[in-house]
Amino acid sequence: MNTITPPSHGNRSSPPREPSPRTAHEPFLPPIEKPPGLTKKLIYFLTRRQFGKVLTPVKVVTARMPVAFGLFGAKISKLDQKLTLPPETVMLVREQVARINVCLFCIDIGRSFTVKASMNEAKFDALEDYRSNPLFSDAERAMLDYVTTLTREKKVAPSLFDRLARYYSEREICEIVWLVANEHFYNMTNVGLNIHSDMLCDISRMKR
């Protein structure tokens, strides 16, 4: 009588490994230090030259995505040059949205830009108290109320919009909304992948 030999399971794949523990400030995906392709290598070189280091979002996100996605983010930055709003207003909008969304990377890089441009840092330090701080004009308070409400509530009352319109043109209002929208793009990318500050503000201060 022939016996039946049970099938061997020696080649069965091993169970999936538990992910290695990470610190609270580590990105959920490990940064790629050596990217594939000449274009991505060039992006690394350019960001290192501009900021003094390769940005963590570049190493975590851009390195893993098709080049077109990285170029999209770069186009957003270039479009800021076409805005008619004063640069300080632009950065106040971006910083307020980043603060509300708790995007530590965006808060840091925003402050680094204010340092490089020699903007009034005390005003950015006082953003939490913009409603009462004398550094802010009535126009800036109306703008920041609008930006804060839009970011937190995802809607604004007509009365709040009317107050904003007392101080800003239709073109400027559209620019403010555009800034809020694409700042969310940056914020959610970094928050979703646990990307924290790159200490760019400190680098900018040392170079100043």
Residue 12 within a domain = no
Residue 173 within a domain = yes
Rounded mean pLDDT for each run of 10 residues along the chain, 208 residues in total: 45 54 85 96 95 96 95 90 97 98 97 94 96 98 98 98 98 98 97 97 77
**117 and 162 together in one domain:** yes
Which pLDDT score, from 0 to 100, does residue 52 have? 93
Tokens 């939490």 correspond to 128
Residue 134 within a domain = yes
**196 and 100 together in one domain:** yes
The 3-class secondary structure across the chain, one letter per residue, is CCCCCCCCCCCCCCCCCCCCCCCCCCCCCCCCCCCCCHHHHHHHHHHHHHHCCCCHHHHHCHHHCCHHHHHHHHHHHHHHHHCCCCHHHHHHHHHHHHHHHCCHHHHHHHHHHHHHCCCCHHHHHCHHHCCCCCCCCHHHHHHHHHHHHHHHHCCCCHHHHHHHHCCCCHHHHHHHHHHHHHHHHHHHHHHHCCCCCCCHHHHHHHHC
Which pLDDT score, from 0 to 100, does residue 10 have? 46
Which pLDDT score, from 0 to 100, does residue 6 have? 45
Which pLDDT score, from 0 to 100, does residue 18 have? 57
Q: Containing domain of residue 165, as a range?
A: 84-207
**52 and 100 together in one domain:** no
**146 and 158 together in one domain:** yes
Burial 33-58, CB ≥16 within 10 A → b, else e: eebeeeebeebbeebeeebbebbbbb
Which pLDDT score, from 0 to 100, does residue 24 have? 79
Tokens matching residue 154: 């995802």
The size of the chain, in residues, is 208
Which pLDDT score, from 0 to 100, does residue 15 have? 55
Which pLDDT score, from 0 to 100, does residue 203 have? 80
User: Which residues lie closer than 8 Å to 83 by C-beta, 6 or more apart?
Assistant: 90, 175, 179
Which pLDDT score, from 0 to 100, does residue 9 have? 46
**108 and 199 together in one domain:** yes
* CATH code for the domain in which residue 129 is found: 1.20.1290.10
Q: What is the domain count for the chain?
A: 2
d(C-alpha 108, C-alpha 117), whole Å: 14
